[in-house]
Structure 1
Amino acid sequence: MVTDGESGYCPTTGIYRSLFDSPPPNDHFVSLPHFLLLSHSAPPTRLAFVDAASGDSLSYADLRSLTAAAASALSSVGLRRGGIVLLVSPNSLYYPVLALAVLSLGAVLSTANPLLTRLELQSQVHHCDPALILAAAELTPKLEGLLPAERPLISIEPFIASLPRGTALPLPELSLTSRDPATLFYSSGTTGKSKGVVNTHGNLTAMAVALRHAWATTAEGPQRGTEASVYACVVPLSHMFGFSVFVCGAVASGATTVVLRRYGLEELLMAVEKHRVTRLPAAPPVVVQMAKSRGAGVASGCDLRSLKEVICSGAPIAREHLERFVERFPGIALSQCYGLTECSGPVTLCDGVKGRFHVSVGRLIPSVEAKIVDLPTGKNLPPNTSGELCVRGPIIMQGYLGNKEATSLAIDEEGWLHTGDLCYIDEHGLVYVVDRIKEFIKYKAYQVAPAELEEILSAHPKILDVAVISHPDEVAGEIPVACVVRKPGCNLQEDDIFNFLENKVAPYKKIRKVEFVEFIPRSPTGKILRRLLKTKASIVTHPPRKGYVSAKL
């Protein structure tokens, strides 16, 4: 296929190819743990993970030996190939150990945000039917009784403490294939309620290879080859963005990752100074908070000269915040990337793109191709023309667990994943996200499915009809807003709805404002016309109540 060398676009096929060189083949390593722990040349003594608070650390040798020991211990309690393990924990030094141990047994790792309520966790347990649960000690009370008595709920801290140290146990040897399922992360997909995304060992290994290749070939000076790279991890490892970057990409690259259990700006900046962090992947609220605090808060007292790049992803961020950040941190490049759980992590990177900040989300990662599709006609579009972004390559998920219909809607017969995002690719091969066709809301990089909140709110005895829409917010990116039709004669108030949702959803899913409307506009098939609703609702001209906009998780 003949392509334009600058944009990667082929006029004959309408397909864009990655402008990165193709990474070397990875035919020998099939399982993700075997690839990560056996295929790179990082010295065994190099630090793989460091706990920002305690200073405890794991070298690459420790990571391998503890993974093997954890796999042996999990096997002894009955975990077998194909069994699903639900991991519920904040970020921790041992999160990668547990994840890789599960995968090395041919079992499937499912993760849950530790902020989820018991009811939400119960729903996920019902859907994925795990063989066992691994949970941080403080989270075990809200997980007790969710599994049958014969299936263990294992507290992580004593489990890790019981593992032998310094042993040379081999990783399990299994006849896995690249199509064997590895992870089951939950995503809203293109529409509707949360779905279980099945990513294979081949998907995740391809992502690890692509990230290692992209970072190694674009780094300059002392960073070249990533030998000197030190990452700060404030993105949840339970999210595919965090998992793909820190467990797949950073480990494959032989980099060091400094793990923060929970995000706090002061703790983050102190970790950057202490551990000489060079790269920080982060959600937009972190970037906004850093920019606003510089010179007037904790940021002014920290030495951030080691930090070369901040990578922003997970939700839209306004240009004014990008400009403010680079003005206040002139020595730090601010880039963006774009990805989906269905794509096993990032689809684009700004690596190698010149400039102090990037409005685009970068170029397609190695081994990925894309097309921009005109929605009315289905035709492939040339550069600088907006349409739905579709991507194809070895990183594309196997499908949604137990949902063939949703899978077939997301992935067509030619293997193209329809992202549901309105984008264009310019003459330089840079991808720009214009809008979202899909309906979910991005609150502080967390996905909030309107359908889930609508289902809960529709059970309120005083609500006749309801729709949940998004509204832009400077701090959170977007906030969920409920448009409510009261039942006749009911004096339902905003606080009544806030109270109704209390303890029913995680903090990041909470409704931040309520608009009372006369009706919910719908199509003939009953689909909510959200764009029309946003136009009609007064939320467009009246900002949400301040106390709810800035509410902390």
Structure 2
Amino acid sequence: MVLHTAFHDQNFQRRERGRMQVKREMEVSNESGFCPLTGIYKSRWNSPSLPQTPLLSLPSFLLSSLPPPTLRKPAYIDSISGDSISYGELRSLTNVVACTLHSLGVKKGDVVLIVSPNFLHFPLLVLGVMAIGAIFSTANFLHTRLELETQIQDSNPAIIFTTQELEPKLDGLIARPLIIVEQFIDEVVHCGEPHNGELLLANVTISQGDTAALMYSSGTTGMSKAVVCSHHNLIAMSCLLSHVWNANGTGVCNDIYMCVVPLFHMFGLSMFVCGVLAVRSTTVILRKYSLEEMLIGIEEYGVTRLPAVPPMVIQLVKSHDKTKEYELGSLKEVICSGASIGKEHMEQFSKCYPHVKISQCYGLTETNGPITLCNGINGRFQVSIGRLVPSMEAKIVDVRTQKPLPPLKCGELCVRGPPVMQGYFKNQEATSHAIDREGWLQTGDLCFIDTYGLVYIVDRIKELIKYKGYQVAPAELEEILATHPEIHDAAVIPYVDEEAGEIPMACVVKREASNVKEEDIITFMASKVAPYKKVRKVVFVNIIPRSPSGKILRRQLKALGTHQKMEISSRL
């Protein structure tokens, strides 16, 4: 009887432990959004209802139901001149642009390319192109003529908009004459409502599934590819950003945003066309980034939120003494994206600007904008990239086995949801590699999700350095290098080694007047990381090439190393 009781007690205790374990797992699941049965993380935000109307374009969704008070509200302001476009003007001028494009022979499905820096009427061109059913596309205006020619051959635009300054770089790349944006906008703004304009647009049938934009990926590790973005993708992004940003539930946000990032990049397009218009807020547009002009604009227009990229945040820290000359009390938050920013830089920013929250968000061209945001997360800065936006699902999968992983386990981030692209333009092979049959997009980013549903980036999987079987994350080493007092900028890339496979090599931009040597940096790093992570070679360069969103263009650095045929004496 005693044995039976003991056996019963043991069974009872095992069952209790099992129940407690299940309870703990469920608690983790509730906090993190993770389902142990499916391996899927779900957003903790309630999902908004997305428009179900099949025939709907992004411009119509954003502008067709404007309340009367909003019509007079500035949608966009030029930071330097003070010129502005109200919501009412934006709606009427969108129709004018669409009808003018029609008169130029542009029809539904044609690609319209814009090659230009930021300017006040850039969003107007975006909306006008999409309103007639044409496909909006952009190119980095800093590209060489050869790079622009490659992209033009790929997308085959019907017409190209550009500036007078950039005209020589593009002249002759398509049969039709270039359209100079300054002249085009001047004519459009002063011509008034087109005759029969409403009737013309009413006869253009645009469905949510139609292609709205071709946006080219950054090409940080390989060739840039054209991402096919549907009206549905961009409408979904507008809805999701509005749902998260619209804290007061009124549909109108009184924040003043400043646009210092390129509008030709998906970060700029999603934030300042999809997001800001959806919450009926105001954007102050800076034509060309400069720290001084940005500070003047924040002060003059009472900017409250500043989406930025890491180099801008770092510059704000380094120039703190200068920024004290400006009244920045209106600024509530800096939203950093485009590339990872180190904890050290975030801590320094918080010390310099204690009244400003610094947060991160994460997205890809392939996701039509940010799919994680830090809204609602407490603290002056957030090392994580935030939580999944509404309607998004995620998996963290083991890089080798492809099995889904629970919270705190590191693997590749895969995402699924309404903003995910249709695929890569004319590249079914690349599309099938990126998106599986269940709709999961492989981001290529090594991440983990904690027990509270916060997402953390470790590095790009393709950029991991394989040293003697160990995996070394360049971003971790770059964060440490950034703390060296004599380093202005740095990037870490792999260098092929016969014995080790690859060794971490640091490409370093010295601070002005610095005499730091390779040996100094190697010693500095050796004291801060595990032996397999040590930097074993340093080369000094004039600049670290970066994309408009702040990502390091490692492909260019690797090419530089190949061309220079650098001699390596590996320190294994």
Change (3 A) 1:327 1:242: same
1:534 aligns with 2:540: no
- Post-superposition CA distance 1:203-233 (Å, at most 9, x none): 011001100111013x69xxx8553110000
In structure 2, how many angstroms separate the alpha carbons of the residues matched to 1:478 and 1:280?
25
Name the residue aligned to 1:183: 213
Q: Which amino acid aligns with 1:131?
A: A
Unaligned runs of 5+ in 2: 1-25, 466-473, 508-517, 523-534, 549-572
Take 1:552 and 1:7, find their aligned partners in 2: how far apart are those partners?
32
Larger Rg computed on CA atoms:
2
Q: Which residue of 2 aligns with 1:210?
A: 240
Within 2, Cα distance between the matches of 1:26 and 1:520?
Answer: 55
**Mapping for residues 539-550 of structure 1, pairs under 5 Å:** 540-541=535-536, 543-545=538-540, 547-549=542-544
Deviations 1:322-359 (A, max 9, x none): 00101110100000001000000101000010100000
The answer as to whether partners of 2:492 and 2:504 remain within 8 angstroms in 1 is no
> In the aligned structure 2, how far is the partner of 1:234 from the partner of 1:98?
18
535-544 or 153-162, which moves further after superposition? 535-544
- Given that 2:494 and 2:505 are in contact with CA atoms closer than 8 Å, whether structure 1 keeps it comes out as no
Stretches of 4+ aligned residues off by more than 2 angstroms: 2-5, 39-42, 164-171, 188-192, 224-227, 438-441, 469-483, 519-522, 533-553
Q: Provide the rounded CA distance (Å) in 1 between the counterparts of 2:172 and 2:492.
A: 31
- Aligned equivalent of 2:160: 133
- Residue matched to 2:416: 392
Partner residue, 1:172: 201
Matched-pair contact (CA < 8 Å) for 1:51–1:57: yes
In 1, distance between residues paired with 2:384 and 2:402? 24
Amino acid at match of 1:368: M
The equivalent of 2:378 in structure 1 is: 354
Change (3 A) 1:428 1:128: same
1:23 alignment counterpart: 48
Q: 2:92 aligned with 1:92, yes or no?
A: no
Aligned to 2:273: 247
| Structure number with higher helix proportion | 2
CA shift in 2, pair 1:478/1:176, >3 Å: farther
- Matches of residues 107-186 of structure 1 in structure 2 within 5 Å? 107-148=134-175, 151-165=176-190, 166-167=192-193, 169-170=197-198, 172-173=201-202, 174-186=204-216
Once residues 134 and 289 of structure 1 are traced to their aligned partners in structure 2, the CA distance between those partners, rounded to angstroms, is 32
**Pairwise CA RMSD:** 2.8
The TM-score with structure 2 as length reference comes to 0.78
User: Could you tell me which amino acid in structure 1 is paired with residue 212 of structure 2?
Assistant: A
Q: Would you say the 8 A contact 1:192–1:439 is kept in 2?
A: no
Deviation at 1:152, TM superposition (A): 3.4
Deviation at 1:153, TM superposition (A): 1.2
Q: Counterpart in 1 of 2:36?
A: 11
Q: Alignment identity in percent?
A: 50
Paired residue secondary structure (2:426): coil
Q: Distance in 2 between matches of 1:396 and 1:92?
A: 28
Task: Tell me, yes or no, if the aligned pair for 2:505 and 2:539 is still in contact at 8 Å.
Answer: no
Cα separation, 2, equivalents of 1:550 and 1:368: 32
Cα pair 1:521 1:533 within 8 Å, conserved: no
Q: Which residue pairs with 2:525 in the alignment?
A: none
Letter in 2 for 1:256: T
TM-score, normalising length from structure 1? Answer: 0.80
CA shift for structure 1 position 521 = 6.3
| Structure 1 residue aligned with 2:457 | 433
SS in 1 for 2:32: coil
Deviation sequence 1:357-386 (CA, Å, 0-9, x none): 000000001111101001111111111111
Q: Distance in 1 between matches of 2:262 and 2:163?
A: 14
Amino acid at match of 1:318: G
User: Counterpart in 2 of 1:512?
Assistant: none
Indicate which of 58, 67, 89 corresponds to 1:32: 58
Closer/same/farther in 2, CA of residues 552 and 17 from structure 1, 3 Å limit: closer
Partner SS, residue 413 of structure 2: strand
Q: Which amino acid aligns with 1:195?
A: K
Structure 1: gaps of 5 or more residues? 442-468, 484-518, 523-528
Q: Is the 8 A contact 1:80 1:105 kept in 2?
A: yes
Residues 194, 266 of structure 1: CA spacing in aligned structure 2 closer, same or farther, 3 A cutoff? same
2:443 aligned partner: 419
Matched, 1:311 2:335: yes
Q: Report if the CA contact (8 A) 2:494-2:502 is conserved.
A: no
**1:321 equivalent in alignment to 2:352:** no
Q: Is the 8 A contact 1:190 1:439 kept in 2?
A: no
Following the alignment from structure 2 to structure 1, what is the Cα–Cα distance between the partners of residues 544 and 362? 25
Q: State how many pairs are aligned.
A: 475
* SS in structure 2 at match of 1:548: coil
Deviations, residues 57-89 of structure 1 (Å, cap 9, x unaligned): 000011111111111111111100110011001
Q: Tell me the residue number matched to 1:447.
A: none
How far apart, in 2, do the equivalents of 1:536 and 1:156 lie? 42
Whole-angstrom CA distance in 2 between matches of 1:33 and 1:257: 17
Q: Which residue of 2 aligns with 1:51?
A: 78
Q: Distance in 2 between matches of 1:364 and 1:551?
A: 26
Structure-2 separation of matches of 1:193 and 1:49? 34
- The aligned runs of 1:256-405 (5 Å cut-off) are 256-294=282-320, 296-297=321-322, 299-405=323-429
- Paired with 1:476 and 1:438, the residues of 2 have a C-alpha distance of 25
Is 42-51 or 230-239 further displaced after alignment? 42-51
> Deviation of residue 200 (structure 1)?
0.6
